[in-house]
Amino acid sequence: MERRKVGILGATGTVGQRFIQLLESHPWFEITWLAASERSAGKRYADACRWKLDTPMPARIAEMVLQPNTPAANTEEVPRIIFAALDSDVAKELEPAFAEAGCAVISNSSAFRMTEDVPLVIPEVNADHLPLLLQQTSVKNGKGGYIVTNPNCCAIGLVLALAPLQERFGIEAMFVSTMQAVSGAGYPGVPSLDILGNVVPFIKNEEEKLQEEVNKLLGSFNGAAIDMLPAKVSAHCNRVAVIDGHTECVSIKFTKPATREEILAAWSEFQPLTQHHLPSAPEHPVIFNEAIDRPQPRLDVNAGKGMSTTVGRLRECSLFDWKFVLLSHNTVRGAAGAAVLNAEVLAKMDLLPGQIKHTQTGAGRELVSA
């Protein structure tokens, strides 16, 4: 199968580097275009990027030249699938421009996650929300571009663990307290003098994002919009001196009673994507670790090649019903890996640009997937 050409916006950053690592030998996608800020445009990737991953920078990528961060500069060369790893203020400006130029913008930033016609998706949880993208103006006007987002890096791991529980027992209320790795703040991120030997009990806008995104992700698509899950969610977000991996302590109240065995069964039987054979989908999206002192970032962050959430310490909660601890990789499952999996599902659902078919019926234009 010929690989589809893809580009990366924000290619030099923390998430951009993960995109390169995950996509360089991807069976469906081929990186043909890279861009970052105006400061980097025109430079060789190797000269513009401070590579921080523990695998070498791919030699082919090192020689690529960073392009201007606009689709207008050389439209011919801009691929129609763009993975975006931009800060949200930059994303607000650039992502719609690329969508308007006909690109599928598969975004990591928070800029459009809560926008009504933008799908916020974790494929194992709510791939059925993706057809919402057909309502975006740039799709309706025939250009075929759109924005699809993946959630905040804490919301992804959390909602993977919650989705099978919501399906079987319903979630009425949830309290979550996070311990978030420094790589979640990008590079150079939190100054070492602030974080070494310390905990910072504040991450700007993080609690708000986590609270609202959980209810959109676990909501249902009614054919026109997302009906939010009406669960009460309260989050405390903290930055800790861990390099990769966000740990979250969760207390949860269900609408129906659940036993320990039923909860464990809900997690272990949660394999919604298995039959689709997607290259980045983990075999087990949620892995329960029975050890009394797990999960731990240093030991469990790479479970399922960084794409699984590890849960542990399931026990009764004296305030709510049950409590547990979870861990997920913030730059793999929480960012680049999540976006790559979104692209794989879009391809499988025939929703990439070029796959979406336009048909004319009656007075209006109707869009159907091929």
Find tokens 């420094």 and name the residue.
Answer: 182
The distance of closest approach from Cβ of residue 105 to ligand NAP in the complex, given in angstroms and rounded to an integer, is 13
What does the alpha-carbon distance between residue 85 and residue 184 come to, in Å, rounded to a whole number? 12
Minimum CB separation of residue 229 from ligand NAP in Å reads 22
Q: Is-catalytic flag, 246?
A: yes
Considering only CA atoms, which of 327, 325, 267 is closest in space to residue 299? 327
CB of 316 to ligand NAP, least distance (A): 32
Which of 137, 144, 119, 105 has the alpha carbon at shortest distance from 358? 144
Return the number of the residue (89 or 261) whose C-beta is nearest ligand NAP. 89
Query: In the complex, which residues of this chain contact ligand NAP (CB under 6 A)?
Result: 10-16, 36-37, 39-40, 69, 85-88, 90, 94, 108-109, 153, 183-184, 186-187, 330-331, 334-335
The two structure tokens encoding residue 140: 């309706």
The contacts of residue 157 (CB under 8 Å, 6+ apart) are 246, 248, 309, 326, 327, 328, 333, 334
Residue 231 DSSP code: -
> Which has the closest alpha carbon to 252: 154, 164, 128, 152?
164
Please name which of 44, 93, 59, 7 lies closest in space to residue 343, comparing C-alpha atoms.
Answer: 7
CA-closest candidate to residue 2, choices 23, 31, 29, 25: 29
Active site (annotated) includes residue 153: yes
Residue 221 CB, shortest distance to ligand NAP, in Å, is 23
User: Closer to ligand NAP at the Cβ: 7 or 184?
Assistant: 184
Of 103, 129, 154, 246, the active-site residue reads 246
Residue with smaller CB distance to ligand NAP, 105 or 153: 153
Q: Using the minimum distance from each CB to ligand NAP, give the nearer residue, 36 or 190.
A: 36
Kindly name the residue from 26, 49, 103, 153 that is annotated as catalytic. 153
For residue 152, the minimal CB distance to ligand NAP (Å) is: 6
* Residue with smaller CB distance to ligand NAP, 170 or 189: 189
Catalytically active residues are 153, 246
